[in-house]
């Protein structure tokens, strides 16, 4: 028995288990050609022109199908109580119309997700999540504590507009008043009868908005509207995009599931600043965090400059890092050639003792171990 | 701005968030060319020869990288108590070395997964799960009830051998004694120093075993051992495979996430027989199930014969079903051309009132609505 060589491009399998977003057909028609699965939903990750997509995000604006950024809806009198159990921030301080970035922690202090919490009403909260079924953790708590809250996945599908001209595009769609929306705040509105939540947010540091479509049947309509405004405002430089591997690494946007996960506590992945241990609010992980903070983190999420002047392909799995004596001390989680820095850069998890800025380590990113230097993120 | 047409084959994006199984490199070298993500792990779903893979499974034997069938490990004095909270079966009846297929239910009676429960020791249970983070639901219960149990994902990665000659292959690897293992029972053993759990199980109705590798560093070693036995025992007809869309539909193996999900109760997806409501055991969904059983199911998971003699491509998303008057009554979840029946067949969720065997409905599987007949599964 013989088989084709592994030089084939791996094909993405579609099927009912891999849910299609409301924008699926439009994104495909616009050239989406590489996909991942995220929160059980098909997510375009490339339109076949990586440098063009990077350029649009850095210098113009682009539109992203990020419907796979699903929501966990907590609805009912105990919604805020349930959210507070899982969050180290004081959720009572979040106002209606405001978003709070927050780690979601289990009782042991493990980070099971890092969503933006949106407070839509006193008794209606969304968690706009990374790629884990945090809904099931919330449901377990609600079932066990017999809380008066429904934990569901609502019909809400974000379409992102990101880049320096994103605000102009979104203003063309919704009106000039959207320029007053502050970072992570949102409004509930509609455009041409399409109900949406419009938030100043998005998974880049280039600015922009996320438009949470609240009627999955209107995906093509919303896409077309935003697309038309993009062409009008940005012109030929307008186009589709996706969460961008280059930009997010350059900007030091850590990714749950890629860079860190539930085996990490918040102090190991840059989330310590969101953990308020001396507030009036209580949460399940408080006791664990007090102990962990005392003990100090075992590892740190850091940036690396990789040696060598030639672009190298990004890693596709965690790759080993050693100290200069050859002892394993961590893993590279993501790497990329930075057009801005003209360097290969990486995000890595390494033992705390090796995480000082300027420290030299050895990293294998696919072609044997090479020198690497610990640097600050965002990369400058 | 113009983009390539959508005629391109969609590419699967690799990356650290999409975990690679211990068999990843071996499966790729053996020709794996189409992938999905399942429990956050890359899973090969085709080696580019669908009919050859079907033939091997039906008439010979094949080997599958199903490491993405992850385990939820419950370990500690309250392991059984926690498992029982989520299962409508009497978990105390499961013996050490035995597997119990069981729905995992939330308090409302929703099916959040349908694993095989493996009892390894009195206080050590694995749930061998379908594609949802049921670990997080278990963790929520454990945290809220303050149970004395650790909920983790262990280092355990199934490699399946399936098909009529699978037992011969596995006997060649482990010895003749494995022929005595009963369905869903397992032994803890090792081969050439590789620790495994060996269970008579697997996601087909063609017979076989799953070898749960307990040391992720030994994936290539285990693959090579089993491959060598396969070539020796089966000869040229041996080869790689994956959970098979054709066979699983013909056999009526329902798939959580594709055919049914947490919005279904067990009586709507053929799982009512596993719900024991009059036993001594208690579980969180008991009250809900008593009420749901009284009310009767709203919908049913059924088989369909689709009209037309020509093979049609399988659906890649839920497609609508109407009654003969045109009222929507359900969705096709999966469809395929059956080589055995020489018919297009499908699994579908339809309103209970329309689910009688022999009923005629109308289904759109991609080329407009056509006649379809409700039939029994497994398909005969």
ipTM of the complex: 0.96
Q: What is the pLDDT of residue B9?
A: 86
pLDDT band at B249 (very low <50, low <70, confident <90, very high): very high
**DSSP class of A256:** B
CB pair distance less than 8 Å for B137 and A132: no
- Cα B251 to Cα A43: distance, rounded to the nearest angstrom: 31
Minimal CA–CA distance to A98: which of A9, A181, A193? A181
pLDDT > 60? residue B1: no
Contact by Cβ (8 Å): A130, A115: yes
- B116, B184 contact by CB (below 8 A): yes
Dihedral sign computed on CA atoms, order A295, A296, A299, A301: positive
B205-230 burial, b if ≥16 CB within 10 A, otherwise e?
Answer: ebbbbbbbbbbeebbebbbebbbebb
The answer for residues whose C-beta is within 8 angstroms of residue B14's C-beta and 6 or more apart is: A10, A316, A317, B20, B42
The pLDDT score that the predictor gives to residue B3 is 39
Query: Would you state the pLDDT for residue B319?
Result: 98
Q: Nearest-CA distance from B254 to chain A in Å?
A: 12
Mean pLDDT of chain B: 96
Task: Give the H/E segment covering residue B165.
Answer: none
Per the CB < 8 A criterion, the answer to whether A219 and A180 are in contact is no
Per-residue pLDDT, B44: 98
As a whole-number percent, the residues of chain B with pLDDT over 90 amount to: 96
Q: Which residues of A touch B133 (CB under 8 A)?
A: 132-133, 136
Q: How far apart are CA B68 and CA B100, in angstroms?
A: 20
Q: Which pTM value belongs to this model?
A: 0.96
Q: Residue A207's pLDDT is what?
A: 98
Contact B143 A138 (CB under 8 A): no
DSSP state of A225: H
Name the residue of chain B whose CA is nearest to A336's CA.
B15
**Do residues B116 and B98 lie in contact, with contact meaning Cβ atoms separated by under 8 Å?**
no
Comparing CB atoms, the residue among B31, B131, B137 nearest residue A137 is B137
Neighbours of B371 (CB within 10 A): 14
Q: What is the mean pLDDT of residues B162-184?
A: 98
Residues 6+ apart with CB under 8 A from A153: A70, A71, A72, A73, A135
- Return d(Cα A2, Cα B141) in angstroms, integer: 49
Is A276 strand, coil or helix?
coil
The upper half-sphere exposure of residue B160, i.e. CA atoms within 13 Å in the direction of its Cβ, equals 25
Q: Give yes or no for a contact between B231 and B169, defined as CB atoms under 8 angstroms apart.
A: no
Crossing angle (nearest 10°) for helices B134-145 and B79-86: 120
Nearest-CA distance from A218 to chain B in Å?
17
Report CA torsion sign: A46, A48, A54, A55: negative
Closest to A144 (Cβ–Cβ): which among B20, B112, B144?
B144
User: Chains A, B: CB contacts under 8 A, how many?
Assistant: 201
pLDDT recorded at residue A62: 98
Q: CA of B30: which chain A residue's CA is closest? A: A3
Q: Are strands A111-113 and A104-105 parallel, antiparallel or unpaired?
A: antiparallel
* Closest CA–CA distance from residue B281 to any residue of chain A (Å): 17
d(CA A339, CA B311): 49
Q: What is the mean pLDDT of residues B302-322?
A: 96
Among the listed residues B54, B18, B368, B99, the one whose alpha carbon sits nearest the alpha carbon of residue B237: B54
Q: How far apart are CA B32 and CA B60, in angstroms?
A: 19
CA-nearest residue to A238 within chain B is: B1
Minimum Cα–Cα distance from A254: chain B residue: B17
From the list B28, B136, B237, the residue facing A140 with the nearest CB is B136
Write the CA distances from A123 to A104, A120, A132, A245, integer angstroms: 19, 8, 23, 36
Number of H helices, E strands in chain A: 8, 22
Is 80 exceeded by the pLDDT of residue B8?
A: no
Report chain A's terminal Cα–Cα distance, integer Å: 52
Give how far Cα B285 sits from Cα of B11, B89, B104, B190, Å.
41, 11, 10, 39
Residue B209 CA, distance from chain mean position = 14
User: What does the pLDDT average to over B152-176?
Assistant: 98
Can you tell me the distance from the alpha carbon of B136 to that of B153, in angstroms, rounded to the nearest whole number?
11
Residues of A whose CB is below 8 A from B320: none
Q: Which residues of chain A have pLDDT under 50?
A: 1-7
Mutate which: A6, A10, A348, vs B, most B CBs within 10 A = A10
Helix (H, G, I), strand (E, B) or coil at A216: helix
What are the start-end ranges of the H helices in A60-119? 79-86
A203: closest CA of chain B, how far (Å)? 16
Q: Which residues of A touch B112 (CB under 8 A)?
A: 136, 139
pLDDT of residue A3: 39
pLDDT value for A254: 97
């Amino acid at each position: 028995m013989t088989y084709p060589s592994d030089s084939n491009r791996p094909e993405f399998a579609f099927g009912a288990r891999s849910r299609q977003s409301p924008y699926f057909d439009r994104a495909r028609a616009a050239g989406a050609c590489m996909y991942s699965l995220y929160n059980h939903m098909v997510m375009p990750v490339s339109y076949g022109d990586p440098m063009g997509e990077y350029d649009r995000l850095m210098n113009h604006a682009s539109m992203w199908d990020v419907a796979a950024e699903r929501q966990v809806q907590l609805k009912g009198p105990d919604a805020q109580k349930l959210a507070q159990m899982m969050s180290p921030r004081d959720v009572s301080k979040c106002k209606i119309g405001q978003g709070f970035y927050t780690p979601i922690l289990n009782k042991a202090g493990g980070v099971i997700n890092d969503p933006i919490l949106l407070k839509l009403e006193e008794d209606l909260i969304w968690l706009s999540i990374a790629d884990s079924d945090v809904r099931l953790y919330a449901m377990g708590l609600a079932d066990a504590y017999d809380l008066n809250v429904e934990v569901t996945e609502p019909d809400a599908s974000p379409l992102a507009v990101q880049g320096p001209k994103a605000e102009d595009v979104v203003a063309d769609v919704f009106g000039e008043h959207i320029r007053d929306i502050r970072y992570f705040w949102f409004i509930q509105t509609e455009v041409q009868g399409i109900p949406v939540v419009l938030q100043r947010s998005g998974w880049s540091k280039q600015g922009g908005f996320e438009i949470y479509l609240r009627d999955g049947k209107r995906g093509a309509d919303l896409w077309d509207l935003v697309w038309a405004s993009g062409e009008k405002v940005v012109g030929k430089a307008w186009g589709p995009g996706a969460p961008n591997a280059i930009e997010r690494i350059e900007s030091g946007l850590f990714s749950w599931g890629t860079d860190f996960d539930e085996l990490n506590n918040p102090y190991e992945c840059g989330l310590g600043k969101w953990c308020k241990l001396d507030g009036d609010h209580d949460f399940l992980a408080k006791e664990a965090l007090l102990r962990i903070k005392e003990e100090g983190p075992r590892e740190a999420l850091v940036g690396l400059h990789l040696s060598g002047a030639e672009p190298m392909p990004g890693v596709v799995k965690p790759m080993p890092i050693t100290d200069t004596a050859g002892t394993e001390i961590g893993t590279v989680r993501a790497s990329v050639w930075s057009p801005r820095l003209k360097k290969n850069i990486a995000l890595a998890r390494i033992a705390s003792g090796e995480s000082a800025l300027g420290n030299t380590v050895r990293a294998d990113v696919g072609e044997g171990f090479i020198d690497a230097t610990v640097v600050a993120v965002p990369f400058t």
